[in-house]
Amino acid sequence: MRNILLPIAGAACLWSGIAAADHFVGACECGKADPQHFLPAGDRADHTLGVEALKCAWSKPLDINGDKAKESVATEIIEISGKRFHGNGVHEIAFQSGDKVALPYHGVGIARNDQEASNKGSFTFAEGTGKLKGIKGTGTFSCKSIGDSTNCAVEGDYQLPR
């Protein structure tokens, strides 16, 4: 089937106030989607709707205030129309401390041979636990598929409450 994903990402400031934002960069690799369900939309042959979840490991962990990303899961809904797709999801990242952040995202991409070839998009910080409670920020991601895995580069800015 298709391995269409839109993991996480980061690159723009979205908060107000005079406190400085901190910048981050990272890279993750997401495996084959499991579970993954796609159905024809019914209106034309090349229109498909789907849901999937992908587990990701961090080759270059995000560092948020000294805490590094350990693992994550991206859960998303996807609409495929011909060779183009777009999706919305939430990427939940678990950090070494046990704290977590939820990153709602939106992305668009191109598929080749019923597989994701590339995608890009943006995300925001929605929620955090523990030391990350109240985190704000935004970012971007860019992903490329290689076989059954997808490598993504992420960049963005965050601010923790004082």
Residue 13 lies inside a defined structural domain of this protein: no
Residue 122 lies inside a defined structural domain of this protein: yes
Mean pLDDT of the chain: 86
**Range of the structural domain that residue 153 is part of:** 22-39+47-159
14 exposed, middle or buried (CB, 10 Å; 0-12, 13-18, 19+)? middle
Residue 1 lies inside a defined structural domain of this protein: no
Residue 14 lies inside a defined structural domain of this protein: no
- pLDDT tens digits for range 42-56: 999 989 999 999 999
Residue 146: its pLDDT value, please? 83
Residue 138 lies inside a defined structural domain of this protein: yes
Residue 141 lies inside a defined structural domain of this protein: yes
CATH number where 83 lies:
2.40.350.10
Residue 51 lies inside a defined structural domain of this protein: yes
56 exposed, middle or buried (CB, 10 Å; 0-12, 13-18, 19+)? buried
Residue 5 lies inside a defined structural domain of this protein: no
Structure tokens at 3: 């391995």
pTM score, two decimals? Answer: 0.83
- pLDDT tens digits for range 123-156: 999 999 999 999 999 999 999 988 888 999 999 9
Tally of domains within the chain:
1
